Structure 1
Amino acid sequence: MKRRIKHVTVLGSGIMGSGIAAHFANIGVEVLLLDIVPFELTEAEQKKGLTKEDKAVRNRIATENLGKLQKASPALLYSPSFASRIKVGNFDDDMKKIANTDWIIEVVVERLDIKKSVYEKIEQFRKPGTLVSSNTSGIPIHLLTEGRSDDFKDYFAGTHFFNPVRYLPLLEIIPTPHTLPEVVDFYMSYGAKFLGKTTVLAKDTPAFIANRIGVFGIMNIFNTIQKLGLNISDVDKLTGPVIGRPKSATFRTADVVGLDTLVHVANGVRESGVEQDMFKDQFAMPSYIDFLTTNNFLGSKSGQGFFKKVKNAEGNSEILRLNLDTLEYEAQGKVSFPTLELTKTIEKPLDRFKVLIGGKDKAGEFYRLTLGSMFAYVSHKVPEISDDIYKIDDAMKAGFGWENGPFEIWDAVGVQKGVELAKEAGYEVSDWAKELASKNETFYKVNDEGQSIFYDKNTGNYDQIPGQEAFIILDNIRKNKTLWSNSGASIEDLGDGIINFEIHSKMNSLGGEVLDGLNRAIDLAEKEYDGLVIGNQGANFSVGANLAMIMMMAVDQDWDDLNMAIAYFQNSMMRIRYSSIPVVVAPHTMTLGGGCEMTLHADRVVAAAETYIGLVELGVGVIPGGGGTKELTLRTCKDFMKDDVKTNRLRDAFMNIAMAKVATSAYEAYDMGILEHGKDIVVVDKKRQIAEAKKVAKLLAEQGYTQPIEQKVTVLGKDALGMFYVGTDQMLAGNFISEYDKKIADKLANVMVGGNLSEPTAVSERYLLNLERETFLSLCGERKTLERIQHMLQTGKPLRN
């Protein structure tokens, strides 16, 4: 029988509970969020004359946490309006409502007795067959079901989300011996397909998978750092983006997560007695950890931890670091290692590891010791915490934000070399890993079908990683199915008559080599294929046009070439719109400027939910010049209805461009008019995005796609222009914008009303494109625009001059 989830009850409205509630609301599920009844009235409630029996008092905790959820930054909801899908209540009055829910998720305090008391209440009202799960991270799952009914046990499992729930994709599924196999299958598939999670099947062992491996890695660093004479700034430099880890690296991550949380997990593993082998000493706390916890210096939540923000002598904010020897805070200073300099020309973090472990300085020694320790540790955790190596890698990538898992890194340095590094660190890897090294084999391979296969220690064979049929991995098909490539882009055959155009320039910026590839892809698709997908699986879809090229041409006053370059960009976007084959664009994460314009011109868009998209060109002193200004003008004006307040809708589009607004999710992009309801779709699981885009392109082709005819649109002329000028005057008077902001905004307005027209007039898209390009070029001749472009290239931040 198919199980549908229409309603979820979340028990516990704290940070994790409200985050889980928000994410279910994000995917369209109704949520009931419950918490305890407060013990006492607040002063404000007493002044209002409320009593403990008033609903507002009894629901206060859940209500307040829902309010915090709505104000969270970064946002936990894809759209503020989704909060309406969450209703609040309390355990005493509203537990009976779980009789009508499909899934009950317990997220109360990490105490076994409290959780068991909650389960007692659940059993009173729960319908047989209703799913029940716990988000616990520290209590053995099998202990939670003691004393429960058989039906409760059948449908119960651990569902361990990671915080923040919207942004960290890991969901560990931990069944008990009683959990029905079909229930486990449901949790795994629902988490992946509907919640967009990397669902990892974990064993009921202390800290499960990600925290077990992650905390070992952190504790290993804690216990290694002083041996090498490194400080915490050194370590954060060595363990951040250079090796494909988050910018917060090690010590900043510990401050953000909270040192108490980290210590709790580490102590839980040590006290459980599972680490009785060569690794047990790694879970002992260094003296500086005792100093921090004793003084309640727990990180961001307490105002200081490994780092402390202070005001310096000049009155400016400064972040100090803890000296681990003196236990005093000090200035951070600069971090520099010769080994890191050697990796600057290596683009992929995975390709840097061979260089890093060969370093002759302390950085090289650090990498050899910490990686060697990690390789040994993970080899011994199979099969203790997981039967399969890919589950460990998936958990670390999805839960800790690692670009590559430990076994993938081990492959990158060489399996035999990893064995040697472990010995250098004082450890022996497991026998099965030694055997693999002796065969000169790897942990992972790609088969002829472009699918990843992994080494199964139990069988000694390579098996396919399950679930790949639902998605396309471009890295895997690139070797055998690349039809053409240059330095900035490539074209791959996705099969079934659909090809993919992939951008892989630096930061996926859009320069001449990318546009040449795009036009080649359209030519190829029109001649030999049924449709085209424009998609990639990089860190971002595209950060926009190549600013350095624009800057160089403008400084040299090479106006003819710059005009031709912008015209080429515009014509390329129009080819996306008006080719004879369907073109589907698959944006994700940062999709800015030209990347947004590419999206705006697609026949269909298959956007990842986590898409941050917008026309940001005003931040560098120009207007969108690749068809973005034209397209938002066209979309706004062509849909005017009789008696519509036209200028209000046009004003909204103008403000989105003038304020360089970026949607914080694909759903917000609908509100901004970048995505179109009933046409474009959103996928929550980014791994499925290319496969879904291929399906859409194929469906359009099978439905008999016909090349569209270029449109005309009625623009509003001078009447609307006056309204915009009044608005920009008021914003300047209120100090919301600078004089140069106003100048750019006025030029933008002139394009969006169709220029110097005395009345509403029907014009072609080409007319608007020419006006857009002329305005873009004129702004490139302005000194302040060049200052803005230069500042963006140097700092990555906009300049408001």
Structure 2
Amino acid sequence: MSKRRINNVAVIGSGIMGSGIACHFANIGVEVLLLDIVPRELTDKEKAKGLTLEDKQVRNRLVNEALQSAIKSKPAPLYHEDFANRITTGNLEDDISKVSKADWIIEVVVERLDIKKQVFENLEKHRTPGTLITSNTSGIPIQFMSEGRSEDFQKHFCGTHFFNPPRYLKLFEIIPGPKTDAEILDFLDNYGEKFLGKTTVVAKDTPAFIGNRIGIYGIQAMFHLVKDMGLTVEEVDKLTGPVIGRPKSATFRTVDVVGLDTLVHVANGIYENVPEDEEHDMFKLPGFIQTMMDNKWLGSKSGQGFYKKTKDKDGKTEILGLDLDTLEYRPGKKAKFATLEKTKSVENVADRFPILIKGDDKAGEFYRRNFGAMFAYVSHRIPEITDELYKIDDAMKAGFGWQHGPFEIWDAVGVKKGLELIEETGKKPADWVQEMLDANVESFYSVVNGQTYFYDIPSKSHKKVPGQDAFIILDNIRETSEVFSNSGVSVQDLGDGILNVEFRSKMNSIGGDVLAGINKAIDIAEDRFDGLVIGNQGQNFSVGANIGMIFMMAVEQEYDELNAAVKYFQDTVMRLRYSSIPTVMAPHGMTLGGGCELTLHADRVVAAAESYIGLVEFGVGVIPGGGGSKEMALRASDSFKKDDVELNRLRQHFLTVAMAKVSTSAHEAYDLDILKPGKDIVVVNTARQIATAKAVARQMADMGYTQPPKREDVKVLGKQALGMFYVGTDSMEASNYISEHDQKIADKLAYVMAGGDLSEPTEVSEQYLLDLEREAFLSLTGERKTLERLQHMIQKGKPLRN
């Protein structure tokens, strides 16, 4: 069989999901045709312009407005605004014949079987045989959709359920129809993971598939439990947020964002279609939810839901919470539980679960009842919705942002303890769980030689989770491959002569131990390895330098120690650049301040598409002091071209730092000259990132890597540039665009990036610029307003403008 490639995709339906899917395909370089229906009547604006229903701009109005609305929405569906050029729009009457050129047709129209069947009938008239055709339904049985279609259509047809928003949520469910070819399922499984950056899960054709079946059960069970235990919305969100590895929006805030009507629609669908489900009544709406639906309190889209944003008499924004008993809004309440306090020092979320279920307060009772009910429910869904338990965990992690799936949580508390919790809730587990224990298997998962194994029910033994060969999972290899560790890092042998430095500090912040770890790793790599990767699989690559340490030194006026600490950081980034082995950085998520400075100094960067990179030191009252200011001056110098206006190039790089610009994707980091085209690469699937970075380091070593010579040729513009910057900051301060302290910081940065007040353009060394940078950094830490900014960031977690 010839190799199938996806170069062109046709998306039918331009609603929120359709436009989002179109944008994500554009993100990965695919040409997209986005089609929707023709309007049936003119708007007043169109009538005023004298347009008719035959005009193209009228006929394409619905699709164009929907796409533009999606592109402008936040968070952005595109990695880069230019990627919108990969999407062509049209309508289902004039342009349907163009689907003949598509390699994949994705239907995303309204959730009504009759309309979907009609769309498929029209598409089949123009579809080229062999073309993939899928439906993004979230609940309509796949088996009904392809009835009456040709054999070729049915063979190439299945469900492909993206979660909203498609760029950010990783779950991609594939649901076979009765006649779907196995080769098509394998192709989509691989394509979703490799190209779309998804966690792909092949599900059975059961109501709500895997993610929504388990996720909606969890929310509905929560609704019933909340009423039973008399908990407030704030208490539930405190209990079901980051403390258990879930998103900050937790439960009720998430429902407000998604829309209560969306949740109710899916819950009603499940209730109607799973009469045999042992928890059938749990999908029935509690009274307070029905009242909220009747009142149209749907969440953010209607201005109020479980929370309501208002302004008090002083015009200050206030968040009200809904009292679930009186159904009236009241001032927000702080939630606090003794059990949660016991987990504050426990960094690893999995280690918190055994503590949480032992709590002797309301929180402990909540977790025992909540986990017990969930454990029982997921045990009974096998083999109904899937044959493999790991698919349930994958779906919940990728679709709902859980750090651990239900079976992983169960393993964390212990399988036997989980059975006790189930019994306490008055429920019963599926028989296979006890049979597993009887077969002397005491956990759902195990790790062997860096690979994850899951309990396979038919064979009553552990089997390897498929598809891991392209991944390196640091949690799985740390114990057996660690060559060095301290409190800040773990250094592991990735195999094939490549080392990896994994940050293990709080929020992956960069302090003395992390820097010592990087230096030690370079020593080890130069001695007996061929290359070095710096990458981790935490939530973020690094939030930057340890500002608490900087603040304490500055307050105590320990300037010699602070000078030494900043120089150590500078020396470390320079070692990264000038070591005798290739260094590869693997940033993802927030890569801020010091994390960005490390990234700027590696030989190559393998960035996750979802990387938010920037030099943000201005927010805490300083300039980048770990080589970032120097590096932006150097990169400006490298961008100077003959007969170019060099000041303009320098100004762009200056503004990147002075405005604390952060890319909203790795692709935007190219615009900021943080990533280099042709040198640094972007990967869509973060699970592949470490393996890809290792391959890049190996390739560089194999090509005969040589240590680069130190730069002595950085062109700086001196007084010519300084004058321009000073005039600019003066006028900005005079017009109240920046504060007096902002101006002071900007002027210090200008002095560094101009190379000081040299009388004419001059070539200088990197070390010359590093010394200027360090001097400016230290002088700013002696300013009271900088100390105020540092303190505010430490205490409040957000910048202070003073």
Distance 1:80 1:162 in 2: 22
Question: 2:212 aligns to what?
Answer: 211
Matched residues in 2 for 1:358 and 1:440: separation?
25
1:267 equivalent to 2:262? Answer no
Question: Which whole-Å CA distance do the structure 2 matches of 1:102 and 1:632 have between them?
Answer: 43
Does residue 118 (structure 1) correspond to residue 110 (structure 2)? The answer is no
Give a deviation string over 1:431-470, Cα, whole Å, max 9, x none. 11122234351000001x2100000011111111111100
Instruction: State the SS of the aligned residue for 2:709.
Output: coil
Q: Which residue of 2 aligns with 1:630?
A: 630
C-alpha separation between the residues in 2 aligned to 1:305 and 1:621?
39
Structure 2 partner of 1:54:
55
Whole-Å separation in 2 of the counterparts to 1:731 and 1:611: 31
State the Cα distance separating 1:108 from its structure 2 match.
0.4
Match of 1:385 in 2: 385
* Contact 2:441 2:461 survives alignment (8 Å): no
For 1:88, the equivalent position in structure 2 comes to 89
Tell me whether 1:30 sits opposite 2:31 in the alignment. Answer: yes
CA deviation map 1:302-323 (0-9, x unaligned): 1111111222233322111111
Q: Does 1:201 align with 2:202?
A: yes
Mapped partners of 2:774, 2:72: distance in 1 = 40
Counterpart amino acid of residue 417 in structure 1: K
In the TM superposition, what whole-angstrom CA distance separates every residue of 1:569-618 from its partner, at most 9, and x where no partner exists? 00000000000000000000000001000000000000000000000001
Query: Are 1:523 and 2:511 an aligned pair?
Result: no
1:759 match = 760
Cα distance in structure 1, aligned partners of 2:475 and 2:344: 22
Deviation at 1:265, TM superposition (A): 0.9
Q: Supply the distance in 2 between the matched residues of 1:60 and 1:725 (Cα, whole angstroms).
A: 49
Letter in 1 for 2:636: T
Letter in 1 for 2:666: A
Partner of 2:43: 42
Distance 2:450 2:78 in 1: 35
Equivalent residue number for residue 706 of structure 1: 706
Q: Confirm or deny that 1:784 pairs with 2:785.
A: yes
Gaps of 5+ in 2: none
Name the residue aligned to 2:340.
340
Query: Could you say which residue in structure 2 is the equivalent of 1:374?
Result: 374
SS in 1 for 2:95: helix
- Summarize the alignment of residues 14-163 of structure 1 with structure 2, pairs less than 5 Å apart: 14-163=15-164
Higher mean alpha-carbon deviation, 212-221 vs 343-352, is at 343-352
Q: Is the 8 A contact 1:278 1:427 kept in 2?
A: no
SS at match of 2:78: coil
In 2, Cα distance between equivalents of 1:76 and 1:764: 42
Q: Which residue of 2 aligns with 1:221?
A: 222
The alignment partner of 2:725 has SS state of helix
Secondary structure at the aligned position of 1:25 is classed as: helix
Aligned residues: 799
Q: CA deviation at 1:278?
A: 2.9
Residues 1:579 and 2:579 are matched in the alignment = yes
Paired residues for 1:548-627 under 5 Å = 548-627=548-627
Q: Is the 8 A contact 2:489 2:502 kept in 1?
A: yes
Higher deviation after alignment, 310-319 or 172-181: 310-319
Structure-1 separation of matches of 2:298 and 2:220: 16
AA aligned to 2:627 is G
* SS in structure 2 at match of 1:469: coil
Contact 2:553 2:561 survives alignment (8 Å): yes
- 1:277 CA displacement: 4.4
Q: 2:741 — aligned with what?
A: 740
In 1, are the aligned partners of 2:639 and 2:649 still within 8 Å (CA)? no
How many Å apart are 1:275 and its aligned residue?
A: 4.3
C-alpha deviation, 1:276, in angstroms: 2.4
How far 1:261 sits from its partner (Å)? Answer: 1.0
The one-letter amino acid of 1:66's match is L
Secondary structure in 1 aligned to 2:418?
A: helix
Distance 1:378 1:322 in 2: 30
AA partner of residue 55 (structure 1): K
Q: List per-residue Cα deviations over 1:369-426 (Å, max 9, x = no partner).
A: 1100000000000111011011000000000000000000000000011111011111
CA–CA distance in structure 1, aligned partners of residues 201 and 747 of structure 2: 53
In the TM superposition, residue 117 of structure 1 has moved relative to its aligned partner by: 1.0
Counterpart secondary structure, 2:478: helix
**Inter-partner Cα distance in structure 2 for 1:249 and 1:400:** 10
Q: Which residue of 1 aligns with 2:491?
A: 491
Aligned residue type for 1:544: G
* Mapped pair 1:182 → 2:189: no
Query: Counterpart of 1:545 in 2: which secondary structure?
Result: coil
| Amino acid aligned to 1:462 | H
Aligned partners of 2:796, 2:275: CA distance in 1, in Å? 46
Structure 1 position 243, deviation (Å): 0.5
Distance in 2, Cα, partners of 1:609 & 1:283: 37
Q: Give yes or no for contact 1:489–1:513 (8 Å, CA) kept in 2.
A: yes
- Report Cα offsets for 1:740-763 as digits up to 9, x if no partner: 111110110111010020000010
Are the counterparts in 2 of residues 415 and 440 from structure 1 also a CA contact under 8 Å? no
Please tell me the residue identity of whatever aligns with 2:84: A
Task: Summarize deviations over 1:355-377 as a string: whole Å, max 9, x none.
Answer: 11111111111111110000000
1:645-664 mapped onto 2 (5 Å cutoff): 645-664=645-664
Q: CA deviation at 1:733?
A: 2.8
Question: Equivalent residue of 1:577, what SS?
Answer: helix
User: 8 Å contact 1:37–1:58 — kept in the other structure?
Assistant: yes
Task: Kindly provide the amino acid, as one letter, of the partner of residue 654 in structure 2.
Answer: F
Q: Aligned equivalents of 1:778 and 1:645: distance in 2? A: 32
- Distance (whole Å) between structure 1 residues aligned to residue 728 and residue 119 of structure 2: 57
Contact 2:579 2:707 in 1 (8 A): yes
How far, CA to CA, are the matches of 1:727 and 1:32 in structure 2?
Answer: 46
TM-score, normalised via structure 2 length = 0.99
Q: 716-725 or 474-483: which moved more?
A: 716-725
Deviation at 1:540, TM superposition (A): 0.6
Q: Is 2:443 aligned against 1:442?
A: yes
Distance 2:684 2:470 in 1: 13
Q: Structure 2 CA distance, aligned partners of 1:328 and 1:609? A: 43
CA distance in structure 2 between the partners assigned to 1:230 and 1:258 by the alignment: 21
Shift of 1:556: 0.9
Structural RMSD (CA): 0.9
- Amino acid corresponding to residue 434 of structure 1 in structure 2: Q
- Helix, strand or coil for the counterpart of 1:762? strand
> Which residue does 1:11 correspond to in 2?
12
Between stretches 639-648 and 5-14, larger displacement belongs to 639-648
State whether residues 722 and 757 of structure 2, in contact with CA within 8 Å, keep that contact through their aligned partners in structure 1: no
The question of whether the paired residues in 2 share the 8 Å contact of 1:612 and 1:666 is answered with: yes
Q: How far apart, CA to CA, are the structure 1 residues paired with 2:311 and 2:257?
A: 20
Distance in structure 2 (CA, Å) of the matches to 1:233 and 1:628: 41
Query: In structure 2, the residue corresponding to 1:667 is in which secondary structure?
Result: helix
Which aligned runs of 4 or more in structure 1 are off by greater than 3 angstroms?
none
Tell me, what secondary structure is at the counterpart of 1:721? Answer: helix
Aligned 8 A contact 2:256 2:299 in 1: yes
Counterpart CA distance in 2 for 1:481 and 1:348 is 20
Mapped partners of 1:773, 1:636: distance in 2: 19
> How far apart are the structure 2 equivalents of 1:440 and 1:324?
43
Flag the 1:541–1:735 CA change in 2: closer, same or farther, 3 A: same
**Counterpart position of 1:315:** 315
Q: Secondary structure at the residue paired with 2:742?
A: helix
Matches of 1:515 and 1:315, distance apart in 2:
46
| 1:683-694 map, 5 Å | 683-694=683-694
1:452 is matched with: 452
**Matching residue's letter, 1:56:** Q
**How far apart are 1:101 and its partner, in Å?**
1.0
Moved more, 229-238 or 728-737: 728-737
TM-score, length-scaled by structure 1: 0.99
Post-superposition offset of 1:138: 1.5
| Counterpart contact for 2:588–2:607, Cα < 8 Å | yes
Distance in 1 of aligned mates of 2:610 and 2:282: 37
